[in-house]
Structures are given as structure tokens and as C-alpha cells.
Amino acid sequence: MSDRPLDKRLNFFGPNLADVRLKGQVEASRFVEGRLMQIAVPLAGLHNAPRPDAGLDTQVLMGERVRVFEDLDEGYCLVQLEACGYIGFVPSHALGQIAEITHRVSALRSFVYPGSDLRLPPEHFLSLGCAISLGAEKITRDTPYRQMIDRSGWIFAGHAEPVNQTNVDDYVTVAEMFLETPYLWGGKSSLGIDCSGLVQLAAKISGQGVLRDTDMQAESAGAFLSKGAELPKLQRGDLIFWRGHVGIMTDAKTLLHASGHHMAVVKEPLKGAIERIAKNEFGAVTGTRRLALCA
């Protein structure tokens, strides 16, 4: 056994119930395998307790798979995200059975209509990265639409791409789509996003798996560059970390990040950001890492 304690954000265990995959590593009166389900709503919050006013740890997009460990009377389920391992509570109504995924939303956001006509009032919207199942294309007034397989609505065909292909040049290009998006702690959508959520989602769209929280990314995202405040020669795609914050370099001198100071995703000169953050926010830079521009 490792001397390092298991991270409870990524491992489900307690004295009464634990993930069967941790048998031999932890003690519990009962172990459970869990069951795979899928997010069936456009966006669901993953909370740190089973109630709507509990802290938002992250968000989960339509089509993402989760492993359900426990169904609670409060109308929530205790789940683990299959993609990154994060654990928390999602509303039971947000979950559905596993369905085949054919496409992923490639626009920052796209409306879902009750029919194949842009003049109809949209029912809701899907954010960048939502995974969906689409049927055959239909042309209405020279505009192509595709209906979701579960018949829950129609989406403009140009806003979705097959899941087995991507037109992403580099993950920074994806992150730049979120410029001026409001800052939201735990957010991971075009309506609101935080610093590590921006990194995780942009990386995911480019085919790279990155963990959710800043400290996790500082230890494992991409390749190690440096530790401490002294900066190496930086380039587009490099990540720069503070204690509790992360940003993306768009070039050697410009930082892109979801900033609580600006309450938005912004670009700003790295030098000025470092000075302000050291004085007012997270202290000195703690290190840098390098993500591949293309998967």
C-alpha cells in the first residue's frame, strides 16, 4: 500500500460503503460496483452534498457517463465521473440510460428546436462538448438540421461534428472561444466557467484527458516544465499555475484564464497578471506544465 492517502475527490470510500475497485486498499462494511448511467440533461451540477444549495464542485455535460454508487432519498445520486474520476452528487432526474453517442456539439452553444425551423422558439440549448445521438439530416429553407435520436429536438447540423473526428487546430483555440464568458466557480459551460474547468474542457475537445482541480492539473497535466516562481521559456499551450489558479499561455507573453478578479474569461499580459495575482490573490507562481496543442 502507498503511504499517500487516497484522494476522496477521486476515490469513493467510507466505513459503510466503498467502491469495489478499492477492495484491499480501504476498509468498509460493504463494497459496491456501481452502475453506469449517462447525463440526460444539457447541464448538471456536481455538488459536494446532496442538496441544491450545496457547493458546486464541477458541472457535467449531456452525454457524459457516470458511475452511480448510491441513490439517496433526497433526490440525488452519489456518482463518479467516468472521464476524470471526480466524485459528487447529481440530481437523480439528470441521469438516463446509456445511449449510443454519434456527435458532439462543436459550437460554443447551440439552440435545440422543437422542429427543423429556426423560426420556432427554442426549447433549450446545448453547450460546447455536449455529446448527443443524431439522426438523418433534413434541409429546411436551405438550412440543414438533424433530429436527436430520442426525438427531444432538432439542432443545426453545422453545430455538431461526429465524435470520431475533430476540426480543432489546438486546444488553446477551443479555450479562446470562451473569451468574455462569465466566471463561475465549478462552472464548465458556455454560461459560466472557472479556471481549471476551462483547461479541462478545452483539453477534452482536443482529445486530451485532464483532471478537474487546479492542484491535480499542476501535478499531472501534460509534461512538467518547472516548479516555483522562476519561469522557463513559455509558448502557446503552456499552463502556468498559482496555488488555487491556472491559466493558459496563448503566446510567450499573453495569459488566457477564467479570472475571479475580472469575473470573466480574459486575455491579459502575463507580466501584469503575475504582479496583480502576487499582490492581491494567489501569491507567486508555483510552476508550469506543457499540454500538446494537438492530440
Q: What is the CATH number of the domain that holds 37?
A: 2.30.30.40
At 262, the amino acid letter reads H
The closest of 99, 96, 92 to 45, measured between CA atoms, is: 92
Query: Are 21 and 45 spatial neighbours (Cβ–Cβ below 8 Å)?
Result: no
Spatial separation of the C-alpha atoms in residues 38 and 182, rounded to whole Å: 27
Supply the pLDDT for residue 275: 96
Please give the pLDDT value at position 2.
52
Q: Is the pTM of this model over 0.75?
A: yes
Give me the number of domains the chain comprises. 3
Query: Could you tell me if 141 and 201 lie in one domain?
Result: no
41 in any annotated domain: yes
| Shared domain check, 234 and 273 | yes
Specify whether 124 is located in the same domain as 87: no
> Do 79 and 56 reside in the same domain of the chain?
yes
State residue 1's pLDDT score: 43
What pLDDT shows up at residue 149?
87
Biggest CA pair distance of the chain: 64
CA distance 87 to 160: 29
Can you give the CATH number for the domain in which 128 is found? 2.30.30
Same domain, 213 and 274: yes
Domain that holds residue 150: 103-162
Given this model, what pLDDT does residue 294 score?
Answer: 66
Distance between CA atoms of residues 51 and 116, nearest Å: 37
Domain match, 247 and 178 both: yes
195 CB-near residues (< 8 Å, 6+ apart):
214, 245, 246, 247, 257, 258, 259
Indicate whether 176 and 230 sit together in one domain. yes
pLDDT in tens, the chain (295 residues): 456 899 999 999 999 999 999 999 999 999 999 999 999 999 999 999 999 999 999 999 999 999 999 999 999 999 999 999 999 999 999 999 999 999 999 999 999 999 999 999 999 999 999 999 999 889 888 899 999 988 789 999 999 999 988 777 799 999 999 999 999 999 999 999 999 999 999 999 999 999 999 999 999 999 999 999 999 999 999 999 999 999 999 999 999 999 999 999 999 999 999 999 999 888 999 999 999 886 5
Do residue 150 and residue 40 come from a single domain?
no
User: Does residue 189 share a domain with residue 250?
Assistant: yes
- Report the distance separating Cα 276 and Cα 147, nearest Å: 48
Same domain, 78 and 185: no
The whole-angstrom separation of Cα 80 and Cα 85 is 6
